[in-house]
Amino acid sequence: MGEEERLRLNDNEGLKERKSISWILFDIDGPVISALTKAGELLLLSIVFVLCCLPVVTIGPACTALYGTVVKNIRRSRGYPLKEFFSIMKKRFRQSFIAGLIMILMGIGLYYLYGLAAKTALNSFWQKSFVIFLTIVIAVFFYLFPVLSRFKVNIRNAFSLAFLMCGEHLLTTLAHIVAAALLVYLFIFIVPIICLPFVPGIWTLLSSFLMERILRKYMPPPSEEDRGKWYYEK
């Protein structure tokens, strides 16, 4: 091989390497731009979620829409974030609204009863019972809205399925409870409140890696038409 040919090969290899680095850093389909786009979409979904939760009673539909959109759009790259968010919210609004309202009332009621028990110096059995019931309500909350985003079920079946899941998958339930407690601690003592808009999307994304494995166990086997659907992808 002549000197001229070796130089040409080296130039070609250098050009390929520069193109490869350029593709990684600047190409719209490259990993860096794709990751930044997903991060921006996740932040956008988090902000929209927080705004939709401001009336409080709409927390249920907002949670359902956020979970469904994060899995479908952020993880599976299907559709557009805002379009999917409001589409899911509209489709599941009635069930999610009622379920969210029930969860809010249950949480407030249990917390009030626990505070009443502590103030009236009831025995420790009642105080511990209230803590246990409150823990169950929180555990069901983690599963309820992913269930509503994935399955067409009535309110009763949604609560039953969520309760079944949190009992059958205890490690996942405990992981969610510990992570939520740690998150509350961080925001109270360490992380500035200005970071709050970033949390819902990141929490939902991380939670979905555990939750999707569980949801698939309760889904029927895919038919020929359903094999290409996003919710059957792993």
CB neighbourhood size of 177 (10 A): 15
Task: Convert the pLDDT of each residue in 193-216 to its tens digit.
Answer: 777 778 899 999 999 999 999 999
Q: Taking a C-beta distance cutoff of 8 angstroms, is the pair 200, 46 a contact? A: yes
Local structure of 222: helix, strand or coil: coil
Q: Taking a C-beta distance cutoff of 8 angstroms, is the pair 106, 136 a contact? A: no
Question: What is the block-wise mean pLDDT of the chain (234 residues), using blocks of 10 residues?
Answer: 48 48 55 80 93 92 96 90 94 95 88 72 68 86 95 93 94 93 82 78 93 92 75 76
> Cα 220 to the chain's mean position, in Å?
22
Q: How far is CA 197 from CA 46, 200, 201, in A?
A: 6, 7, 8
Integer Cα distance of 122 and 120 in angstroms: 6
The reported pLDDT for the residue numbered 24 is 52
The reported pLDDT for the residue numbered 233 is 77
User: With a threshold of 0.85, does the pTM exceed it?
Assistant: no
Nearest CA-CA partner of 95 in 157, 143, 164: 157
The reported pLDDT for the residue numbered 230 is 78
